[in-house]
Homo-oligomer: A and B are copies of this chain.
């Protein structure tokens, strides 16, 4: 692992100037074929690869896009196998971004921010890319605000209006409110339920709030006395907390809700486990729903009724937005996209179809 070869080494070995070496890579046509051959040959022999750093520095652009995402790994998921199944948000967004980035000729730099980790994580990313996407609440607002003044940042799944200092960012979110509204409406309308308990989050989360609004709206419209706040707010949205929520809801005051409407799938899954242990049957005794549409939601029994979010697409949209900003004609105004979601009716709400996927194409009913 000797010194890494540079343009100078290649230039010397092929008897040209460093400018020519550079040209061979940047605009091959501007160099005579014979010269090009010689340079390329020398480069090959030396194992030369242009330094992305130097290139970026000299040309002020890196050809790399970034993504900051929270370290979502659910500590409750100890089983490696479950871990596999629970393909996370971030994986899907990564997939979407990588694909789109590649289409546009960019590479993708990813970094997960561990809770309370070094704040400079963003900086680490921001300093190395032409633009980047941030999953909501991954990055300290102040820091993000400062950075985003100088280079394109798109916010994912987050609070568009929430923070006015960030309202100049492009933004992609999913129709949380509408999705939860549709799902709730399904419970009320199609299943005739009247007594629903919503389980949210202690911390303020724009997504969770929006979902709750959808829930409440559906209740209102059905003439159900909808609480102004969730029945329960948990400190984290993990399986363990979901289980705990199920406990609390059951041991309440004897009069158990007909449905537990969870703000995400992880909690709902935890609840299913807890309920099974307690001999409470789903959906016969109580209906359970989630939100997200993680793969695990389809694997559990009963399969979970939920709202699917198009996360891969979100990644793609994010990249398209960034590329647009980076291009000659960036939109003047900040762009805000709201991607549609779909209610997935499965067994946990009493829709029994598609419970046992047939060979190779486990299908679900989307409504």
Contact = CB atoms under 8 A, between A and B. Distances in A.
B109 A109 contact: yes
Contacts of A361: 79, 82, 273
A124 B52 contact: yes
A94 interface: yes
A2 interface: yes
A154 interface: no
Interface in A132-190: 142, 145-152
A114 B105 CA distance: 11
A109 B64 contact: yes
Report which residue of A83, A84, A276, A357 has the largest number of chain B beta carbons within 10 angstroms of its beta carbon: A84
Nearest to A310: B80
Interface in A82-106: 82-85, 87, 91-92, 94-95, 98-99, 102
Contact of A127 (B52, B60, B356, B357): B52
B359 A300 contact: yes
A334 interface: no
Contact of A91 (B56, B87, B107, B269): B87
Task: Tell me how many chains of this kind the complex includes.
Answer: 2
A81 interface: yes
A102 B68 CA distance: 12
A70 interface: no
Interface residues of A, number: 87
Contacts of A363: 81
A2 B150 contact: yes
A307 B151 CA distance: 46
A29 to B, nearest CB: 15
Given A57-B54, A111-B108, A127 B49 contact: yes
B108 A110 contact: yes
A217 to B, nearest CB: 28
Nearest to A107: B111
Given A47-B147, A361-B273, A362-B300, A107 B81 contact: no
Contacts of A92: 84
A128 interface: yes
Interface pairs A-B: 4 shortest CB-CB:
A52-B128, A53-B56, A52-B127, A47-B146
Given A63-B124, A98-B111, 18 more contacts: A2-B150, A47-B148, A47-B149, A48-B146, A49-B123, A49-B127, A50-B127, A51-B127, A52-B56, A53-B55, A53-B57, A82-B362, A272-B359, A295-B295, A298-B299, A300-B359, A300-B360, A301-B357
21 contacts: A45-B146, A47-B146, A49-B126, A50-B127, A52-B53, A52-B56, A52-B124, A53-B54, A53-B62, A62-B128, A64-B128, A79-B361, A81-B362, A83-B312, A84-B87, A102-B114, A108-B109, A269-B360, A272-B359, A273-B359, A273-B361
Interface of A: 1-2, 4-5, 44-57, 60, 62-64, 71, 73, 79-85, 87, 91-92, 94-95, 98-99, 102, 107-112, 114, 123-128, 142, 145-152, 239, 269-270, 272-273, 276, 293, 295-296, 298-302, 312, 325, 330, 356-364
